[in-house]
């Protein structure tokens, strides 16, 4: 939440500004109301991330305000912190009964308000991001459970049997499924089996609620992948707490898995970058070539509207496209003059050598075709496979344009780099024969918008 919108309700302007002052470090936008009635009107007209309200006020007190907020679907999910100088258990208990998320005694304002506010905002963001699907054939249970979760700030959808639930899961997968066992059409157990069989849904926590408290049944279901088993009749507050715990555990698991994958990928990429550096250290004339090709294809991919993941992969492919040159002997790779046919045949093996080097790295599977085919020609006269036109993967086709451009414009052992215009003339002449026409068009557009220096940066 970048800038939380907070409504402060108190009949004392002094307390309102004291509250705002205590919270200035959270960089929120604050509105004020002087009693419950005005506060309620404002909450109905605008959307707030949090309401902090005094209890003792004229017109409408904090208890009445909170009850009204928590029965209105438009305001039900706004968290409420009640503040009062009354610290009796009875009073505090009443605050929670009317749906407050937290209760602070006025004398504790300085020590507790900031931490409590941050905690409540964090929790509400967590709830708002989590959607629960409640499946039960009893409309009464559906509405009681829905109500309890909505009051806690979750988004809730319902279904009256497993079959309908499955349809909803396919359309818009929830973050957690809470299901009865005995239902017509499809039981909760069948639903759980079906959800667990789909790889896209099998990680969704599945909670069973049932009147059956047979331990053997419970154990069996937990072994089949049910995340928790709640016995009816249940205490709604406990139920909400159990679900919150399940979701936050699930969130932590997903977060850890993402961190593990990110660091594995980072580790692999730094290893590969070392390989490229080793290759380019051998041949200082092409030093920086892979980096430049990567920078160009990345910009072309962005222009083509590729997803962030694909743009990143294309850029990695650019960095690695010539890795197979590691297998080309020094006397050929560094030869200043023209290559003999035999020598050229050896150089032509580098795309396949590259595939052999990288082919076993699972996370690079997507870029292997681009490495293999970056020397194919649009007219089919390229290597290693001589495929043509759209049979050449698009990543390889854009790479061929970037590779050609950079090879022409950079200095070689036997000649200086060409000026931009001359290189562009050659690229346009090769359009449709050596190079893919669409990829050339994208490149021409790119070069009209960006300086050659920034193109390879």
In the complex, the residues that contact Fe ion under the rule CB under 5 A are 322
CB of 296 to Fe ion, least distance (A): 14
**Torsion angles phi and psi, residue 105, rounded to 5:** -80, 135
CB of 423 to Fe ion, least distance (A): 17
Task: Name 157's bridge partners.
Answer: 133
CB of 265 to Fe ion, least distance (A): 24
Q: Which candidate, 258, 304, 239, places its Cα nearest to that of 446? A: 304
CA geometry: angle 157, 163, 169, nearest 5 deg: 45
Residue 286, C-beta contacts closer than 8 angstroms, at least 6 positions apart: 280, 322, 410
Tell me whether residue 10 or residue 322 sits nearer to Fe ion (CB atom): 322
Tell me whether residue 146 or residue 377 sits nearer to Fe ion (CB atom): 377
Tell me whether residue 175 or residue 322 sits nearer to Fe ion (CB atom): 322
Tell me whether residue 184 or residue 380 sits nearer to Fe ion (CB atom): 380
CB of 382 to Fe ion, least distance (A): 11
Residues 16, 8: contact at Cβ < 8 Å? yes
CB of 375 to Fe ion, least distance (A): 6
Residues 23, 113: contact at Cβ < 8 Å? yes
Tell me whether residue 298 or residue 322 sits nearer to Fe ion (CB atom): 322
Tell me whether residue 101 or residue 322 sits nearer to Fe ion (CB atom): 322
3-state secondary structure of 317: helix
Number of C-beta neighbours around residue 281 at 10 A: 9
Residues 375, 400: contact at Cβ < 8 Å? yes
Tell me whether residue 191 or residue 370 sits nearer to Fe ion (CB atom): 370
262 φψ region: left (φ > 0), alpha (ψ -120 to 50), beta (else): alpha
CB of 350 to Fe ion, least distance (A): 6
Q: Which candidate, 321, 302, 305, 327, places its Cα nearest to that of 367? A: 321
Number of C-beta neighbours around residue 381 at 10 A: 11
Tell me whether residue 96 or residue 285 sits nearer to Fe ion (CB atom): 285
Tell me which residue has its CB nearest to Fe ion: 322
CB of 337 to Fe ion, least distance (A): 19
Residues 417, 409: contact at Cβ < 8 Å? yes
Residue with tokens 């309102």: 16
Tokens of 251: 């969130």
Can you tell me the distance from the alpha carbon of 226 to that of 139, in angstroms, rounded to the nearest whole number? Answer: 23
CB of 320 to Fe ion, least distance (A): 10
């Amino acid at each position: 939440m970048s800038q939380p919108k907070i409504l402060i309700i108190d009949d004392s302007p002094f307390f309102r500004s004291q509250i705002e002052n205590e919270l200035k470090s959270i960089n929120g936008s604050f509105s004020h109301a002087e009693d419950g009635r005005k506060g309620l009107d404002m909450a109905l007209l605008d959307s707030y991330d949090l309401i902090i309200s005094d209890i003792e006020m004229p017109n409408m007190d904090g208890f009445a305000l909170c009850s009204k907020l928590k029965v209105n679907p438009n305001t039900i999910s706004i968290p409420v912190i009640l503040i009062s100088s009354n610290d009796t258990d009875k009073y505090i208990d009443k605050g929670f009964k009317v749906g407050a998320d937290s209760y602070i005694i006025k004398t504790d304002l300085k020590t507790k308000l900031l931490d409590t506010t941050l905690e409540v905002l964090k929790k509400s963001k967590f709830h708002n991001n989590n959607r629960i699907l409640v499946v039960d054939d009893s409309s009464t249970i559906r509405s009681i459970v829905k109500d309890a979760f909505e009051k806690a700030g979750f988004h809730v959808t319902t279904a009256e049997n497993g079959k309908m639930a499955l349809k909803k899961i396919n359309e818009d997968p929830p973050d957690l499924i809470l299901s009865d066992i005995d239902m017509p059409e499809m039981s909760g157990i069948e639903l759980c089996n079906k959800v667990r069989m789909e790889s896209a849904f099998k990680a969704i926590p599945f909670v069973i609620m049932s009147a059956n408290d047979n331990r053997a049944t419970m154990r069996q279901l937990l072994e089949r992948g049910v995340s928790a088993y709640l016995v009816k009749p249940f205490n709604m507050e406990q139920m909400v707490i159990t679900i919150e715990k399940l979701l936050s555990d699930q969130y932590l698991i997903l977060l850890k898995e993402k961190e593990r994958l990110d660091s594995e990928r980072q580790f692999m990429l730094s290893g590969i970058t070392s390989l490229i550096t080793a290759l380019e250290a051998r041949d200082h004339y092409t030093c920086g070539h892979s980096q430049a090709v990567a920078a160009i294809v990345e910009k072309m991919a962005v222009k083509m509207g590729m997803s962030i993941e694909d743009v990143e992969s294309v850029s990695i492919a650019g960095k690695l496209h010539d890795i197979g040159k590691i297998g080309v002997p020094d006397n050929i790779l560094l030869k200043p003059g023209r290559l003999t046919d035999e020598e050229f045949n050896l150089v032509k093996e580098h795309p396949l050598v590259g595939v052999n080097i990288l082919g076993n790295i699972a996370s690079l599977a997507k870029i292997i075709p681009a490495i293999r085919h970056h020397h194919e020609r649009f007219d089919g006269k390229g290597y290693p496979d001589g495929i043509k036109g759209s049979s050449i993967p698009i990543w390889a086709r854009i790479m061929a344009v970037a590779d050609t451009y950079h090879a022409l414009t950079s200095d070689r052992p036997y000649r200086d780099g060409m000026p931009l215009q001359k290189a562009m003339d050659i690229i346009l002449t090769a359009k449709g024969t050596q190079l893919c026409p669409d990829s050339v068009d994208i490149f021409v557009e790119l070069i009209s918008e960006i300086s050659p220096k920034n193109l390879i940066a």
